[in-house]
Chains A and B, each alone.
Chain A
Amino acid sequence: MTGSAKLYFEDVELGDEIGPAVISVADDQVVDFCSLWGNPAPNRFTDQAEAEKIGLDGPIVPGIMTMALVSRVITDWAGAGTVADLDLVFRGTVPHNQPLYVGIQVSDTEQDDDGNHVQCDITMTGPVPDRPYVIGTARLNLPSRD
């Protein structure tokens, strides 16, 4: 196996389900992220009053932080450097301090001259059965056993 991949293409089958992984995002993690990102607190991601000003119930997890967290769930499974593309659709706001369930399901596999490609469907939901906060797809490039 090359690079940091943990999986071979041959190990993956269409329909495979991974997780859901359960993560949560604490208030101070969002503050740290916003600080590094160059959008320091207080803002709608960190502050109740700022969030309410724009009609939100409370502070939310930034979209790019959600993307980073989803990427980490994928690379924890497939290995670093495997994610070639991540395309998420936000259907709701992602809350702080709540369990977030990230599910992955293999929805396509393909081999061509450029390599071995795996498409995964991604969903992020809350603790109760509900419409997902986030849906989308990730495209992975995986090494072959050959």
Chain B
Amino acid sequence: MTYLDLHCHSVASDDSRATVEQYLKFIQVHRKKGYTIDGIVLTEHRQFNFDVDYSQLAAEYGVIVLKGAELDTCFGHMLVYNITPSLAKDVDFGDVKMDGRELIKAARHHGGFVVPAHPGRFGIGLVEYMEQGEVFEDVSIVERVNAGSKPEENERAEDLCQRTGYLGTAGSDAHLASHIARAVTEFKADIRTEPELVDALISGEFRPVYIQETAAAPVA
């Protein structure tokens, strides 16, 4: 079993105020309270940095740190996992009007995986586009729980999953250290790398949970 926060932003994203180390420190606060958090996936806005290496910090704090991205598309924000040099060559990450359907195909072609972020968010979520008649044949998983969304937006995401059979992930969408891991995805598999994350997503053996559900025993 692996509990991963699949959506968070460090100061590399312009609207975040948390460093990666501050996230890892704050995960220790959660762990002291009895919650289980194994790792995070950094999903910076509109960018991916191949050179930055968090392995030393990850080892120091005992937290898995994986890297992805949150890209803007014409169909809303999309979380991209297992970004390879070939995918980054094929896709302009800074293009805020890119075709989301093409991104999903390109990611799969290069061994990555795309999960539409906060699909129930008013104005910019996948639900809005589906209501306009858009069809997304290659979507099979969406972010069902986004801890930065309004409750009714998460309810719309849940309705979407029930209607379509989409599977759902969870992430905090943290921009502050204290918001890390408020929602996480529980995977059956042990995950230590980005390719393992993609395999686990494809397996379908995961579910979205709030941090309170990760406690082995009730937390006061």
Q: Are A129 and B151 in contact (CB under 8 A)?
A: yes
Which of B22-30, B71-79, B85-93, B211-219 lies at the interface with chain A?
B22-30
Q: How big is the B interface, by class?
A: 10 to 19
Give chain A residues whose Cβ lies under 8 Å from the Cβ of B176.
107, 121, 123, 135-137
Within 8 Å by CB of A14, from B29, B149, B150, B175, lies B29
In the assembled complex, how far is the CB of residue B148 from the closest CB belonging to chain A, in whole angstroms?
6
Give chain B residues whose Cβ lies under 8 Å from the Cβ of A130.
150
Give chain B residues whose Cβ lies under 8 Å from the Cβ of A135.
17, 175-176
Q: Are B178 and A105 in contact (CB under 8 A)?
A: yes
Contact flag A131-B18 (CB < 8 Å), given A14-B25, A15-B26:
no
Assembled-state Cα–Cα distance A19/B104 (Å): 43
Give chain B residues whose Cβ lies under 8 Å from the Cβ of A105.
178
Assembled-state Cα–Cα distance A54/B46 (Å): 29
Q: Are B150 and A131 in contact (CB under 8 A)?
A: yes
Give chain B residues whose Cβ lies under 8 Å from the Cβ of A131.
148-150
Q: Are A89 and B178 in contact (CB under 8 A)?
A: no
Give chain B residues whose Cβ lies under 8 Å from the Cβ of A108.
22, 25, 177
Assembled-state Cα–Cα distance A123/B22 (Å): 17
Assembled-state Cα–Cα distance A131/B123 (Å): 14
Q: Are B26 and A14 in contact (CB under 8 A)?
A: yes
Chain B interface main SS type: helix
In the assembled complex, how far is the CB of residue A122 from the closest CB belonging to chain B, in whole angstroms?
8
Assembled-state Cα–Cα distance A70/B151 (Å): 26
Contact flag A136-B17 (CB < 8 Å), given A108-B25, A121-B178:
yes
In the assembled complex, how far is the CB of residue A41 from the closest CB belonging to chain B, in whole angstroms?
31
Give chain A residues whose Cβ lies under 8 Å from the Cβ of B22.
107-108, 119
| Interface check A87, CB cutoff 8 A | yes
| Interface check B179, CB cutoff 8 A | yes
What per-residue 1/0 map shows which CB atoms of B162-195 lie under 8 Å from chain A?
Answer: 0000000000000111110000000000000000
In the assembled complex, how far is the CB of residue B21 from the closest CB belonging to chain A, in whole angstroms?
8
User: Which chain B residue lies CB-closest to A123?
Assistant: B176
| Interface check B95, CB cutoff 8 A | no
User: Which chain A residue lies CB-closest to B173?
Assistant: A131
What per-residue 1/0 map shows which CB atoms of A108-134 lie under 8 Å from chain B?
Answer: 100000000001010100000111000
Q: Which 3 A-B pairs have the closest CB atoms?
A: A15-B29, A107-B177, A121-B176
Q: What 15 new A-B contacts, CB under 8 Å, besides A107-B178, A108-B22, A123-B176? A: A14-B25, A14-B26, A15-B29, A15-B32, A105-B178, A107-B22, A107-B177, A108-B177, A119-B22, A119-B177, A121-B18, A121-B179, A131-B149, A135-B175, A136-B176
Pairs A–B under 8 Å by Cβ, sample size 15: A14-B29, A15-B32, A15-B178, A105-B178, A107-B26, A107-B176, A121-B17, A121-B176, A121-B178, A121-B179, A129-B151, A130-B150, A135-B176, A136-B176, A137-B17
